[in-house]
Amino acid sequence: MQLYGMPGWGSAIVEVMLALVGEPYDFVDVEGFDRPGEAQDRLAAVNPLRQVPTLVLDDGEVLTETAAIALWLADRHAGLAPRPGTIEHRRFLRLLIWIVANVYPSFTYGDYPARWAPSAPDELVAATGAYRERLYRWLEDQVVGPYLLGEQPCALDCYMAVMIDWRPGCEWFARNAPRLLVAARLMRRDPKLAAVMARNRLAVD
């Protein structure tokens, strides 16, 4: 498989998942894909939407969206999601979709405010940032510990292992969502993820 991505971005979440379950892949670095140029053209050749992550499967099929990739991998590998039919699996599905439907859009708009609110970009950044913090405070209350859903890591922990470096950042999590931070750092320390952590410049505390 080939994973098109950019270090530290959403593709890092998929890298963590792939490394956790032991799926081999080649990483195609398209840093700079969000502006015109060679990297954007290379990504557009396989995904006209020009989004990362883009995963090109062995049969040539293109798979996008972190949640879709997580569910596809969970079908192939035990351990990335709780066992179907359990309460934990229902909670997993809810929180997986909740993250991509609620938290992710706050970055979609907040990272490129001039695109969506050209007359008031700073206001959009402030509003999406405050909303994101409210979301994370709610998610903090859902943490079972030591990982998000209990004793075993799942795809949700792969998300947070990367996202704690995104705004509002680790210092905010330490003050306001410490259980989320503990779970994320525990995930980062998994030996199977060492190479992914290094490539994406994610500190292992």
Domain match, 93 and 62 both: no
Using alpha carbons, list the distances in angstroms from residue 46 to 2, 16, 24, 25, 39: 10, 22, 19, 16, 12
User: How many domains, in total, are found in the chain?
Assistant: 2
Please report the DSSP string for 144-167 in residue order: -SSBTTBSS--HHHHHHHHHTTST
Residue 201 lies in a domain: no
Residue span of the structural domain in which 15 resides = 2-79
Query: For 147-202, how does the pLDDT look when each residue is reduced to its tens digit (9 = 90+)?
Result: 999 999 999 999 999 999 999 999 999 999 999 999 999 999 999 999 999 999 99
Report whether pLDDT(145) > 90. Answer: yes
- What is the domain-level CATH number for residue 54? 3.40.30.10
Domain match, 74 and 99 both: no
What span, in angstroms and rounded, lies between the C-alpha atoms of 112 and 38?
A: 21
Domain match, 70 and 102 both: no
Report whether pLDDT(205) > 80. Answer: no
End residue of a domain, out of 79, 101, 127? 79
Domain match, 59 and 100 both: no
Domain match, 22 and 71 both: yes
Domain match, 155 and 61 both: no
User: Quick one: average pLDDT of 125-140?
Assistant: 98
pLDDT value for 79: 86
Query: For 77-129, how does the pLDDT look when each residue is reduced to its tens digit (9 = 90+)?
Result: 988 999 999 999 999 999 999 999 999 999 999 999 999 999 999 999 999 99
Domain match, 72 and 103 both: no
Query: For 32-46, how does the pLDDT look when each residue is reduced to its tens digit (9 = 90+)?
Result: 999 999 999 999 999
What span, in angstroms and rounded, lies between the C-alpha atoms of 154 and 50?
A: 28
Domain match, 73 and 104 both: no
End residue of a domain, out of 48, 79, 110? 79
Domain match, 124 and 147 both: yes
Beta strands in the chain (DSSP E): 2-5, 26-29, 54-56, 62-64
The model carries a pTM of 0.97
Domain match, 33 and 94 both: no
Report whether pLDDT(55) > 80. Answer: yes
Report whether pLDDT(143) > 80. Answer: yes
Residue 205 lies in a domain: no
Among 204, 132, 200, CA closest to 172: 132
Domain match, 133 and 179 both: yes
* Pair of tokens at residue 153: 């890591």
- What is the domain-level CATH number for residue 98? 1.20.1050.10
Domain match, 55 and 8 both: yes
124, 113 in Cβ contact below 8 A? yes
Among 101, 161, 109, 166, CA closest to 133: 166
What span, in angstroms and rounded, lies between the C-alpha atoms of 74 and 3?
A: 17
